Structure formats: structure tokens, C-alpha cells
Amino acid sequence: MALLPTTIRAQVTPTIASDEPELIEVDVETKVRRIAVPALVAPNAADTPAGNSATLGRQIAEVISANLRNSGLFEPQGPAGIRPITLEEVTAPQYDYWKGRNVEQLVEGFVRVGGDGNLTVGCYLYDVNFGQELTRLGFVVPPREWRRAAHKCADAIYSKLTGELPFFDSRIAYIAETGPKGKRVKRLAIMDSDGANHRFITNGQSTALTPRFSPNYKSILYLSYQDGNPRIYVYDIDSGRQRLITASKNPTFAPRWSPDGQTILYSMAVAGNTDVYKVSVNGGSPVKLTSAPGIDVGGSFSPDGKQIVFESDRGGSQQVYVMNADGSNQRRISHGGGRYATPEWSPRGDLIAYTRIAGDFRVGVMRPDGSGERLLTDSWQDEAPTWAPNGRVIQFFRTERNSGKTSVWQVDLTGRNERKLPTPVDGSDPAWGPVLP
């Protein structure tokens, strides 16, 4: 009996159903999938730097279960409250037993410690009603990266059962906030998509804002008041060094990466006028993309790098505009009531998220031509949306009335599955990175 999955791969990439940009409509009345996730089996349990492999088997199952539950599309059972499985059951499930628990799918697997000290994590997905295997995969990881194996397993299950791209094995940069209202200390921080492995990047001596992960995860682009003025820096995560993007004496802000990581989009205020610029990541002369009187603030590139969405008050109020990457063909796309800010293009290219300001601040989505506008949140102050790597979940930050306390939230495109992310302190300006390789 071969227990090692026949396919060892680092990433699952299901096909996308449609090539045409289209606002997804989700049947919010459809019942979520019931899925069982018993603890992974640990044959010949052994100690590792991250703990005993038997303990890791349960912890991996807990992360898989939490990932699926937090997607809003699954109702997991286990690992708590269900019986442990045997090694033989990993490839020969007891379907009748699981039918009796009224589940539709079953996740089983194992954790084995190799002679080199690394973990081999096997993950199997079964359809209980049809009594068949749907997918299997495995990963070899250092013990301290067991959570990544759990996220990859959850990603594979999510993709297989929904047809959507994965997003659990990814990271989030955000601004960690402490201190009283009006005198907040704002530090750059990063964490896994579920809030684990939290790490502060800056010490808070200078205010940090609007972080964005580079496409390769090696750097973070962000705004800092290090010298008392807003300037854009690139922080190298491995070395801990940072460098200034532009040496201009004018205030620069709202930095964004191009999809290939070779260009930085930003805004700069000169003589009372703010325009959108782009510059090579290696430096050089910036290229001015807008010139209309007023305030133009860069939003983000489309995933193919051919267009840019940005906000502008050139027409008398803050609205969303789209232009070609060279600055040509600038046109307004927002036409609802109120003002529009912080637009960001979906990684799939089908939607643009934004903040609508009409009394309250609410997060919404629209098609790139401005049609299909739909608000997803309904609180006092929700703003600054950022997309999950699969373009089907949005994070944003929420500010409490009166106290000024901030927190990071996420919501899917139904607008129903809204939840707060765990952070050790208050949080704002989230930025979701791509799926890890």
C-alpha cells in the first residue's frame, strides 16, 4: 500500500471557467458543504523542532478545518469531536461511517518525519456519497513550515470543490496601530492569511502607511514619515534594509507595484497639484501620467499591466477613473452617489474594488467599465479594500465610531461572509500578497 501521494506539487492551479470579465453572482441561499477533517495520522511519531509529529498531525487538521470554515463555503467537522483514523484508512476510508455523520466530503492524511528531519505531509480528499477519491497531493517541508503544508492542503481542497483559484497560502502586510486616538503609533507588520506568524517590521518611530508586498514577496513597498515628510520606501524583508524610491522634496504617497514587479506607481504633490507617476523599481526618471488640475491619486495596475485605475477630483468630486498604462485614454467609470476612493483592480481582472463615501464609508465592487456596482459592507467606516490572490475575497479596515480603534476585516463577494482577522493590536491598511510558490 503506497501512502505517499503520487503527485508531489507545491501549488494547485485549477482552470478558470470564463475568460470574459463578469460580475460573479453567488447563490447565498445554497447550503455550505459539510466536510470532515480528522487529525492526520503520524506513523512512528517522532519529535521535531516544531513539536511531536502526532501533535502536528492534529494541528495541521485544525488549520485545514479553520481555513475551509473561514471561506464561508464549508461546514467542517473535526478534528475535535470526531474519532481518530488509522493509517490504513488514509487510502481506504470507511465511507459508511462518514455517511452516518452526514458529511459530503472527507479529508484524510498523514505526517511522517524523514531521515533528514523534514516532514512529508500527505493530503487526500474523498467524496463520501460516491465513495471515490477526488484528489491527493503531498508536501515535503521543514518542521517549522508545517502551517504552509496545511494551507496548501486547504487550497487544494478549496480549488477542487469550488473551481476557484487558491488563496490560503498567502501573506498579509498591514499597519499595526497602538496608542490613543489622535496620537497613534503606526508600525509596518506582516502575517499569514489567517493571522499566524505575526511579525512587526518597523519600530514605530516613524509613521508607516499603505504597504504592498512585491509579487515575489521579497520586498514591501510603503509610505513612511521617516524624515517628517511622506516618502516612499522599499523594505527588503531578508536584509531588513530599506531604500528611498524617489529623492524628490515633494510629498510622495500611494505606492503600488506593477504585476511584474518592475515598475512602481505612485502619486506626487507639486505646487498644489497632485498627479500619478510611475518609475522603474531600479530608479531613474519618473514618468508623469496625469496632468488634470486637482488631485489624482494612483490606485493600481490591471493584472495584465495594460491599464491603471486611479481616483481624481478633476470633475469636482472624488471619483474613480481608468487610463492606459501610458496615461492615455483617461475616463471616469464611477457614477453612483457620493465620492469614490482607494480603487484596486482584482487579480482576475474582472472587478475593481473601492471605498464609497456617502455619509458612511463602505466597500464595494464594480466592473472595469463602471457597471454592476455593488456594495459589500454596511458599517460606519470601512475602507481601503485589498484583494485575495484568487479575486474572490476582499480585506479592508474598519474604524470604530468615537474611539478611532481600527481592525482588519474580510468579506467575500456575496457580502455575507464577513469576519474580523486576529491581530495582536489594532490594524489598518491591509494588503494581501499573492499565493506563495
On whether residue 8 sits in a domain, the answer given is no
Q: Are residues 359 and 384 in the same domain?
A: yes
User: How is residue 350 written as a grid cell?
Assistant: 474582472
In the prediction, which pLDDT does 6 show?
A: 30
Residue 48 backbone dihedrals phi, psi, to 5 degrees: -135, 170
On the CB side of 1, CA atoms within 13 Å amount to 7
148 and 256 fall within a common domain:
no
Picking from 162, 195, 230, the residue at the C-terminal end of a domain is 162
Are 218 and 211 in contact by the 8 Å Cβ rule? The answer is no
The per-residue pLDDT for 246 is: 81
Same domain for 175 and 155? no
Residues 134 and 242 in one domain: no
Same domain, 124 and 144: yes
Asked if residue 359 and residue 296 are part of one domain, the reply reads yes
Instruction: Spell out the per-residue pLDDT of the chain, length 437, in tens.
Output: 333 333 222 332 232 233 333 344 444 335 689 999 999 999 999 999 999 999 999 999 999 999 999 999 999 999 999 999 999 999 999 999 999 999 999 999 999 999 999 999 999 999 999 999 999 999 999 999 999 999 999 999 999 999 999 999 999 999 999 988 778 899 999 999 999 999 999 888 888 899 999 999 999 999 998 777 888 999 998 888 888 888 788 899 999 999 999 999 999 999 889 999 999 998 889 999 999 999 999 889 999 999 999 999 999 999 999 999 999 999 999 998 899 999 999 999 999 999 999 999 999 999 999 999 999 999 999 999 999 999 999 999 999 998 889 999 999 998 988 999 999 999 999 999 999 98
Which residues have C-beta within 8 Å of that of residue 406, sequence separation ≥ 6? 177, 397, 398, 399, 400, 426, 427, 428
Instruction: Give strand ranges (E) for 258-405.
Output: 263-270, 273-280, 287-288, 296-301, 307-312, 319-324, 331-332, 339-345, 352-358, 360-366, 374-375, 382-387, 393-399
Output the pLDDT for position 322.
Answer: 98
Query: 67 and 109 in one domain?
Result: yes
Domain membership of residue 44 as a residue range: 33-162
| Domain final residue, candidates 127, 162, 197 | 162
Run of H or E including 210: strand 208-213
**Structure confidence at residue 283 (pLDDT):** 82
Q: What is the pLDDT, as a whole number, of residue 31?
A: 62
Cα–Cα nearest to 431, from 177, 202, 209: 209
CATH number of the domain bearing residue 113:
3.40.50.10070
Positions of E strands within 79-183: 105-113, 119-127, 132-141, 170-178
Does 239 lie in the same domain as 191?
Answer: yes
What domain count does the chain have? Answer: 2
What's at 213, amino acid-wise?
F
By CB atoms closer than 10 A (0-12, 13-18, 19+), residue 239 is exposed
Residue 212, Cβ density class (10 Å: 0-12 exposed, 13-18 middle, ≥19 buried): buried
Whether 62 and 110 map to the same domain: the answer is yes
- Asked whether residue 14 is assigned to any structural domain, the reply reads no
